[in-house]
Amino acid sequence: MNSKKTFLNSLLGRMSIEDKVGQLNLLAGDMDVTGVKNSNDLEGKILTGQCGALLNVYTPHTTRALQEIALQSPLQIPLIFGYDVIHGHRTIFPIPLGLSCSWNLELIEESARIAAAEASADGLHWVYSPMVDVSWDARWGRVAEGAGEDPWLGSKIAVSMVRGYQGNNLADPGSVMACVKHFALYGAPLGGRDYHTVDMSRRAMEETYFPPYRAAIGAGARTVMTAFNEIDGVPASGNRWLLTNLLREEWGFTGWIVTDYAAVSEMKNHGTAGTDADAAKQAFHAGVDMDMVSELFLIELPELGKSGAVSENLIDHAVMRILESKWDLGLFDDPFARCHEEHAKQVFMNPRHRKIARQASRESMVLLKNENGLLPLKRRGVIAMIGPLADSRRDMLGCWAAAGDESMAASPLDGLHEAVGDDAVILHARGSDVLISNNNLLDEAIKVAESADVIILVLGENWQMNGEAASRANIRLPKCQRKLAKAMLKLGKPCVLVTMSGRPLELSWEERKFTTMLHAWAPGTEGGRALADVIFGAFAPIGKLTMGFPRCVGQLPMSYREKNTGRPFDQNTAYSSKYLDVPNDALFPFGHGLTYATFAYGPVTASAKEMSAGGSITISAVITNLSDHSASETLQLYLRDLVASVTRPLKELRGFKRITLEAGESRVVSFRITTADLTFPGPDFTPISEPGDFEAMIGPSSANLIAVRFSLM
Ligand code: BGC
C-alpha cells in the first residue's frame, strides 16, 4: 500500500498540468463504432501523453502495439483499454434483458466472469457494464441491455455482475473493472425515445431508479458512466448534485466517473454550455473524472486550471483516481500482462464457456403460452422451420455483441438440425424479410409448410431493431411478419410461435391466434442449440419475464409496481383509473413464465400475526407439482404496505426461490422477512419502516398471487 502511495505521489509530482489532463482523456479506436465520431491521431496523442485510456480497441496484438507507444511517452504511463462487453465478449450470452429472465444470480455472475476472462485475454481492462437502468418503457431500445422493470431484482443482478467482472483482485488475469451505467435515470426518456428528456420526481428516483446503481456501487464497482439525459434541467454529465452531492458524498462512491460518448461536448446541444470551455468546466466541476471522446478536458482544462477557473487540486484528485486503478490493475508491474496470443486462444470460446452460454440461453427463454401442451415437440415426422430469423446467426448475438463472431453462432435452424439428426425431416423457408414483404418468399414458405406436420415459426426483431438509438413507437411484429404468421395459421397445422427481440413486444394479436408461444430474446452464440433443447424438452423452460409485455403500446410506461391511486381500477366503475379500450394489466406480466408442468400453490401462511420492529417473520407457501415428472419453478414473494406516510406500490418483489419437485411432490417453501424488506424512502427520502399492516403474496408471477396479512409492531 505504502509503495503504491509513494509511487503514485512521486509520479503525480512529476506531471505537468498537460500530463495530468492527458490521463483524463479517453479516446476511441475504430475496431467498433459506438458513437458519432472516432478520435484521430491516436498514436500521436498516446506518444505525447495526451491519452489515458482507449475504447473500441482490443486483441492482444493491437493493445500491445499501442501500449508500447504509451511506454515511449515522456512519463511512460500505461493505457487502460475499455470496451462495451455487455453480454459476453467472444462467447456471447443472451442479451442482458434475456439473461435476467433466468432469475439465476449465480449463472449471471458466472456469465460476467467468463466475459471478464475473455475480455481480459483480449487486452482489455475495463468493461462498460453493468447497464443497470431500470425501464418501464419497452419503446426504449436500450431495455435490451438492462435487467428489466424491477429495482429490487435489478439490484441483485447488478451486484452479481460487478462481482463477476471484478472478482477479488483487479490484477487477476480474469478480472476487469466494471462501469455502472448510465448514471442516472437514462431508462426513463419521455415517450421511450432514446436520448430524450427525463423529467422525474425525487420519489420515483429513490424508489425505482436509484436502487440498482446504489447496489452496484455498494458491490465495489470501480467506475460509473454518466447518462446522456438531463436531470431536473441539468445534463447528467454536468450535474454536480448528481455526481458529487449524491454519488460521492451521500453514497460514498470512491471510484472514478467517465462521461458517456461525447457527453461533455453535448452539453452545448443541451444548452447549458455556450462554449467548449464552459462545457469542460461544467462537467469537471460536477465531478466527472474522464472525458469520453469529446477531448474537451484535454483542450480546455489546462487553461482553466492555470487561470484558477478550475482547481488544480481537483485535477490531481481525478488523476490520482485513474492512476490508482492502473496500479490496481497491475499495469505498472506488467503493462503487457493481457497481451498474449496463446493465452487468448485458450480462453476464447472454450468449451466450458460455450456450455455455460448454452445453459444461460436455455434459462433465459420464456414460455409465454402452451395452451394445448404442443411443446415439447417430438423429434419425428416433418418439421418446418419458417421465418426471417430462423436461419440468422447474426441475430442470435443481438445488439452490443462485442467481439462475438456470428460464424461461430448456432441459428435456430442449426440447433434444430443438430437436435433432430435423422429422426425427423426438417424443412426450412424464410417466408419474409424482417422488415419487407416478399411474395416469392411467402409463396415458397406456404408450399414448404404445407407438407409439414408441425411448423416452428421464428419471428421478431433483428439485432438492429433494439439497443442504442433504436427506439420504436410501434412494438408489434413488422407487418410483413404478421402477414407470414397469418399465412401459416391458415394452414391449420400445429404451430409454435418463437419470438426473438430485445424488448417486450406487443403480441396481443399473436396471443389471440397462437396456442403456443416461446420468447427467445437474442439468445447468444449457443442460442440455436438452447432453443432446440427447449423445444424438444431436453431442457424444460424456467425463464420468468423481468419486464411485462404490454397489451398495447399506449399502456407504456407500465410496471407491475404501480400504485393504487385514489380511484383504483374497477372495470365497472366509470370514474376509476383505467382505459376504455384495454385492461390496465400486462398481456404477459412481470414474473410470468410457464414450464412443461403444472403447479398448485397454497395455502400461504405467516409464522405469526405480528412482527416486532427489528424482528422477522416467515411467510410460507405450499407448492405441489401436479405433473407426472420432476419439474422446476421459480416462486416469487411480493409485499405491500397497506397504509404508510407516503403511497406505496400495490406489490413489490422481495424474494424468489427456484425449487425442483418430483412428480406429485408437495413442499413448503418459506421466505424470511425482516424489517429491511419493509423499509422504504420516507417523506424526506430517508429510509424508514413504519408500523402497520402488510400483505405478503406468493405465486408464480406478479399477477397470480396468494396473499396473507401480518402487522409490523
Ligand atoms: C453508449 C454507452 C457506451 C458508449 C461507449 C455510448 O453511445 O451510450 O453505453 O458504453 O457509447 O461505446
Q: Ligand 1 pocket test: which of 33, 34, 37 has the largest number of ligand atoms within 8 Å of its C-beta?
A: 34
User: If you measure from the C-alpha of residue 436 to the centroid of ligand 1, how many angstroms do you get, rounded to a whole number?
Assistant: 30
Task: Give a yes or no: residue 419 inside a domain.
Answer: yes
> How much is the pLDDT for 36?
82
Among 106, 166, 546, which residue's Cα sits nearest to residue 359? 106
Q: Is the pLDDT of residue 90 over 60?
A: yes
550 secondary structure, DSSP code: P
**Closest ligand 1 atom number to CA of residue 35:** 7
Q: pLDDT tier at 561 (50, 70, 90 boundaries)?
A: very high
As a whole number of angstroms, the distance between CA 178 and CA 176 comes to 6
| Cβ neighbour number for residue 626 with a 10 Å cutoff | 13
Cell 470496451, residue? 83
Taking the CA of residue 128 as reference, the ligand 1 atom at the shortest distance is 10
Secondary structure of 171-227 as H, E, C letters:
CCCCCCECEEEEECCCCCCHHHCCCCCCCCCHHHHHHHHHHHHHHHHHCCCCEEEEC
Closest protein CA for atom 8 of ligand 1 = 260
Q: For atom 2 of ligand 1, which residue has the closest CA?
A: 260
Q: What is the pLDDT of residues 265-321, one digit of tens each?
A: 999 999 999 999 999 999 999 999 999 999 999 999 999 999 999 999 999 999 999
Regarding whether 642 and 511 lie in a shared domain, the answer is no
In the structure, what pLDDT confidence band is assigned to residue 1 with cuts at 50, 70 and 90? Answer: low
- Is the domain of 404 the same as that of 537? yes
Instruction: Tell me, in angstroms, the distance from the centre of ligand 1 to residue 475's CA.
Output: 23
Residue to mutate (ligand 1; options 84, 129, 226; most atoms within 8 A of CB): 84
Beta bridge partners, 711, equal 610, 693
Q: Spell out a b/e string for 151-178, using b for 16 or more CB atoms within 10 Å of the CB, else e.
A: bbbbbbbbbbbbbbbbbeebebebbbbb
pLDDT, tens only, 595-640: 999 999 999 999 999 999 999 999 999 999 999 999 999 999 999 9
Choosing from 399, 468, 471 the residue with most ligand 1 atoms within 8 A of its CB, the one to mutate for a pocket test is 468
Q: What is the DSSP string of 365-397?
A: -EEEEETT--PSPPS-SEEEEESTTTT-SHHHH
Has this prediction a pTM greater than 0.85? Answer: yes
Whether residues 657 and 525 share a domain: the answer is: no
Cell 472516432 sits at which residue?
38
| Pairwise CA distance, residues 239 & 226, whole Å | 10
210 lines ligand 1 (CB under 6 A): no
CB 675 within 8 A of CB 712: yes
- List, in sequence order, every residue forming a beta bridge with 460; answer none if it has no partner: 500
Q: Which of 555, 587, 622 lies at the terminal end of a domain, its last residue?
A: 555
Residues 627 and 514 in one domain: no
Between the two ends of the chain, the Cα-to-Cα distance in Å is 48
The rounded Cα 710 to chain-centroid distance in angstroms is 35
Tell me, using a 6 A CB cutoff, whether residue 128 lines ligand 1.
Answer: yes
Residue type, 530: A
| CB 424 within 8 Å of CB 379 | yes
- What is the band of 34 on the pLDDT scale with cuts at 50, 70, 90? confident
Number of domains the chain contains: 2
The three cell numbers locating residue 53: 485510456
**Domain assignment of residue 181, yes or no:** no
Tell me the CA–centroid distance for residue 260 and ligand 1, in Å: 6
Three cell numbers at 30? 475504430
User: What residues are labeled active site?
Assistant: 260
Residues 541 and 629 in one domain: no
Strand-pair category, 516-519 with 631-641: unpaired
H runs (alpha helix) in 287-348: 296-306, 312-328, 341-347
CA of 131 to the centre of ligand 1 (A): 10
Q: Which atom of ligand 1 is nearest to the CA of 228?
A: 8
* 541 & 644 share domain: no
Counting Cα atoms < 13 Å in the Cβ hemisphere of 137 gives 25
Q: What spacing in Å lies between the alpha carbon of 84 and ligand 1's midpoint?
A: 7
pLDDT (tens digit per residue) in 330-389: 999 999 999 999 999 999 999 999 999 999 999 999 999 999 999 999 999 999 999 999
Pocket perturbation via mutation, ligand 1, pick of 27, 194, 261, 293 by most ligand atoms within 8 A of CB: 261
Cell of 496: 409454435
CA angle 10, 13, 18 (to 5 degrees): 130
Question: What's the pLDDT score for residue 37?
Answer: 75
Average pLDDT, stretch 508-537?
A: 98
Assess whether the C-beta atom of 84 lies below 6 angstroms from ligand 1: yes
- Domain assignment present for residue 311? The answer is no
344 belongs to a structural domain: no
Residues 6 or more apart whose CB falls under 8 angstroms from that of 600 comprise 623, 624, 626
Report in angstroms the alpha-carbon separations of 1 from 5, 6, 8, 15, 324: 6, 9, 11, 21, 11
Per DSSP, the residues of 460-486 read: E--GGGSSTT---S--SPPHHHHHHHH
Is residue 343 in a domain?
A: no
pLDDT in tens, 479-491: 999 999 999 999 9
Task: Establish whether residue 260 lines the binding site of ligand 1, counting it when its CB lies within 6 angstroms of any ligand atom.
Answer: yes
Question: Which CATH number goes with the domain that contains 653?
Answer: 2.60.40.10
Cα-based torsion angle of the residue sequence 258, 264, 266, 272 in order, rounded to the nearest 10 degrees:
120
Which residue has a Cα nearest atom 10 of ligand 1? 128
List beta partners, residue 233.
Answer: none
- Specify which residues 425 forms β-bridges with: 382
Q: Which of 38, 56, 124, 128 to mutate to test the pocket of ligand 1 (most atoms within 8 A of CB)?
A: 128
The pLDDT of residue 109 is above 60: yes
Q: Does residue 679 surpass a pLDDT of 80?
A: yes
Who's near 333: CB < 8 A, 6+ residues apart? 171
Q: What is the CATH number of the domain that holds 379?
A: 3.40.50.1700
In DSSP terms, 80 is beta-bridged to 53
Domain match, 503 and 387 both: yes
Percent above pLDDT 90 for the chain: 98
Query: Scanning the structure block, which residue is given the C-alpha cell 406456404?
Result: 446
Neighbour tally for 567: CB within 10 Å? 12
Residue 496 sits in the same domain as residue 548: yes
Residue 267 lies in a domain: no
Question: Residue 2 in 3-state DSSP?
Answer: helix
d(CA 656, CA 651): 14
34 lines ligand 1 (CB under 6 A): yes
Spatial CB neighbours of 202, under 8 Å, sequence gap ≥ 6: 685
CB 104 within 8 A of CB 201: no
Domain span including residue 468: 366-555
What is the sign of the dihedral through the CA atoms of 97, 103, 104 and 105?
Answer: positive
38 lines ligand 1 (CB under 6 A): no
Distance CA 203, CA 219 (A): 24
Q: Report how far ligand 1's centroid is from the alpha carbon of 152 (Å).
A: 25
Alpha-carbon distances of 710 from 52, 152, 161, 224, 657, rounded to whole Å:
56, 22, 35, 40, 21
Amino acid of residue 386? I
| Residue 642 CA to ligand 1 centre (angstroms) | 41
Contact 329, 71 (CB under 8 A): no
- What is the CA(141)–ligand 1 centre distance, in A? 13
In a 3-state reduction of DSSP, which class is residue 319?
helix
**Amino acid at the residue 164:** G
Q: Whose CA is nearest to atom 12 of ligand 1?
A: 34
Q: What percent of the chain lies above the pLDDT cut of 70?
A: 100
Residue 209 Cα to ligand 1 midpoint, Å, equals: 19
Please provide the size of the chain in residues: 713
Helix or strand or coil: residue 675? helix
pLDDT digits (tens, 9 = 90+) for 183-238: 999 999 999 999 999 999 999 999 999 999 999 999 999 999 999 999 999 999 99
The set of cell numbers assigned to 110 is 458466472
624, 599 in Cβ contact below 8 A?
A: yes
Q: Using a 6 Å cutoff on CB, does residue 300 contact ligand 1?
A: no
Q: How far apart are CA 65 and CA 43, in angstroms?
A: 10
Per-residue pLDDT averaged across 468-487, rounded? 98
Which residue, judged by its Cα, is nearest atom 4 of ligand 1?
Answer: 261
Ligand 1 in reach of 35 Cβ (< 6 A) = yes
- Ligand 1 pocket check for 266: Cβ under 6 Å: no
Sorting pLDDT into bands at 50, 70 and 90, what band is 652? very high
Is 385 in the same domain as 458?
A: yes
Q: 333 CA distance to ligand 1 centroid (A)?
A: 30
> 639 with 550, same domain?
no
Q: Which amino acid is at 72?
A: Q
Answer yes or no: do 403 and 548 share one domain.
yes
Which of 500, 534, 555 finishes a domain? 555
Is residue 194 within 6 Å of ligand 1 at its C-beta? no
Q: Which of 502, 530, 555 is the last residue of a domain?
A: 555
Assigned domain for 640 exists: yes
Closest-lying ligand 1 atom to the alpha carbon of residue 186? 8
Are 382 and 485 found together in one domain? Answer: yes
Torsion, Cα of 263, 269, 272, 273 (10° steps)? 80
Q: What angle do CA 495, 500, 506 make, to 5 degrees?
A: 85
What is the DSSP code (8-state) at residue 95?
P
Could you count the other beta carbons within 10 Å of the beta carbon of residue 622? 16
User: For ligand 1, is residue 207 a contact (CB within 6 Å)?
Assistant: no
Quote the ligand 1 centre to 332 CA distance (angstroms).
Answer: 27
Residue 659 lies in a domain: yes
- Look at residue 583 and tell me whether its pLDDT is greater than 70: yes
CB 174 within 8 A of CB 119: no
526 lines ligand 1 (CB under 6 A): no
Ligand 1 centre to CA of 346 (Å) is 29
Indicate which atom in ligand 1 lies nearest the CA of residue 179.
10
Let me know: does 480 contact 437? Beta carbons within 8 Å.
Answer: yes
| Cell numbers placing 161 | 455482475
- Backbone dihedral angles phi then psi of residue 251, each to the nearest 5 degrees: -90, -10
